[in-house]
Amino acid sequence: MRVLVTGGAGYIGSHTLLELMAQGHEVCVLDNYTNATPEVLTRVRALSNGAVTDYVGDVRDPAKLDEVMQNFQPEAVIHFAGLKAVGESTQKPLYYYDVNVGGTLALLHAMDRAGCKRLIFSSSATVYGDPVYLPYDEAHPTTPTSVYGRTKLIAEQMLQDWAAAQPGASAVLLRYFNPVGAHSSGRIGEDPKDIPNNLMPFIAQVAVGKRAALSVFGDDYDTPDGTGKRDYIHVVDLARAHVAALNYAQTNTGARPFNIGTGDSYSVRDMVAAFERASGVTIPTQLAPRRAGDIAAMQADATRAKAELGWDAKHSLDEMTASTWAWQSANPDGYDS
């Protein structure tokens, strides 16, 4: 299929491009590089030995979207382009609504004008909010606790309404758990621009000496070792889920959410120990207060994705940490290395 990938130069998008091309799909990227660098696509091209058409532009720009749609004629769109920092979303709510909701709306309008009816959407487990029960299944109530989470939920609802009103339309809503890890080549990976908000990139930067110590945000949670537990998923497994979702969208209409996680969960202390095993480097830690908005634990029930998409996670925790280490040690300053 011809697949337009918005935000394709980002962390998850770049890994997904490689999986799409490996399966024979033709890809085109639209990215405005607010959180990426063109070097990403240079490396993706080198790794795949394939063609990646790309456009520099904003997903909120109707003229740019029309240009891309007319030139590339996509049969499906994977929509990664968006903003993802929970803390920043509280400080700049209108910016987050503009990009994450407004960007999705502008894209749907352009797809309608071009007659494109298949969309795979990057949603998040954060749409569930405080757990009423765990593991979360897709029927769990959705009451997000941050602006970021609300932008994802509103976009999902918009896609539900769009798919219901458009005969033949298909919207696959992928609710990612915690993506970590990197491509096996060590050539592409996660490259946070500022101080990392998330655990794994922070640990990786401590390991290469860019940060002195990891702050452990609370050790008095109701978990076996008191630190927060999450369902970490290897980014290559997550990328594979998009290929599975594309296949699903070819034969199914309507909108459907899917949890994309492993069903396992690990604590902060587990992650530090696994990273030390993979890297041979000791990670200094210091205890810090709980981070506002954090929950004790979360975990996916991913049985729907297995049953309906034919997808499940294949990579172990050690593969997540080893690939992160391979990427970070070879590229201590990310794509600026």
Binding-site member from 103, 135, 149, 181 for ligand NAD (CB under 6 A):
103
H helix or E strand, kind and range, residue 68: helix 62-72
Mapped onto helix, strand or coil, the DSSP state of residue 9 is coil
Asked if 234 contacts 196 with a C-beta cutoff of 8 angstroms, the reply is no
Q: Give the contacts of 95 (CB within 8 A, at least 6 positions apart).
A: 83
- If one asks whether residue 34 binds ligand NAD (CB under 6 A), the answer comes out as yes
Give the nearer residue to ligand NAD in terms of CB position, either 9 or 108: 9
Q: How far apart are CA 150 and CA 298, in angstroms?
A: 18
Stretch that binds ligand NAD, among 9-17, 43-51, 68-76, 276-284 (CB under 6 A): 9-17
User: In angstroms, rounded to a whole number, what is the distance separating the alpha carbons of residues 197 and 190?
Assistant: 12
Angstrom distance (rounded) from CA 234 to CA 261: 9
Q: Pick from ligand UD1, ligand NAD, none: which does 294 bind, CB < 5 to 8 A by kind?
A: ligand UD1
> Closest residue to ligand NAD, Cβ-based?
10
Between residues 186 and 226, which has the closer beta carbon with respect to ligand NAD?
186
Let me know: does 127 contact 142? Beta carbons within 8 Å: yes
Between 164 and 292, whose beta carbon lies closer to ligand UD1?
292
- Considering the complex, state which of residue 251 and residue 286 has its C-beta at the smaller distance from ligand UD1: 286
Which of these, 46, 299, 36, lies nearest to 192 by C-alpha position?
36
Give the residue from 294, 316, 313 showing the smallest Cα distance to 303: 313
CB under 6 A: which stretch of 5-13, 105-113, 156-164, 216-224 binds ligand NAD? 5-13
Strands (E), 198-304: 214-217, 229-230, 232-234, 254-260, 266-267, 285-288
- In 3-state terms, what secondary structure has residue 187? coil
89 interacts with, out of ligand NAD, ligand UD1, none, CB within 5 to 8 A per kind: none
Residue with smaller CB distance to ligand NAD, 107 or 169:
107
Give the three-class secondary structure for 58. Answer: coil
Residue 129 makes contact with ligand NAD by CB under 6 A: no
Among ligand UD1, ligand NAD, none, residue 10 binds (CB under 5-8 Å by kind): ligand NAD
Residue 215, contacted partner among ligand UD1, ligand NAD, none, CB below 5-8 A by kind: ligand UD1
- Rounded distance between C-alpha atoms, residue 135 and residue 130, angstroms: 12
- Residue of the chain from 7, 129, 201, 334 that contacts ligand NAD (CB under 6 A): 7
Beta bridge partners of 254: 170
SS3 state at 297 = strand
Q: Can residue 58 be called a binding residue for ligand NAD (CB under 6 A)?
A: yes
- Is 10 an interacting residue with respect to ligand NAD (CB under 6 A)? yes
Element (H, E) at 235: helix 235-251
12 binds ligand NAD (CB under 6 A): yes
Asked about 232 being catalytic, the answer comes back as no
Task: Write down the least CB distance from residue 61 to ligand NAD, Å.
Answer: 8
**Active-site residue, selected from the candidate residues 136, 148, 221, 266:** 148
Q: Which residues pair with 217 in a beta bridge?
A: 288
Binding interface with ligand UD1 (CB under 6 A): 86, 124, 126, 148, 178, 197-199, 202, 214-217, 228, 230, 268, 291, 293-294
Q: Which of 129, 149, 179, 257 binds ligand NAD (CB under 6 A)?
A: 179
- 131 vs 332, which CB is nearer to ligand UD1? 131
Kindly state the smallest distance separating residue 322's Cβ from ligand NAD, in Å: 19
Q: What is the DSSP string of 299-312?
A: -B--HHIIIII---
Alpha-carbon gap, residue 337 to 331, rounded angstroms: 5
Annotated active-site positions, please?
Answer: 148
Q: Binding residues for ligand NAD, per CB under 6 A? A: 6-7, 9-13, 31-36, 58-60, 80-82, 84, 99, 103, 122, 124, 176, 179
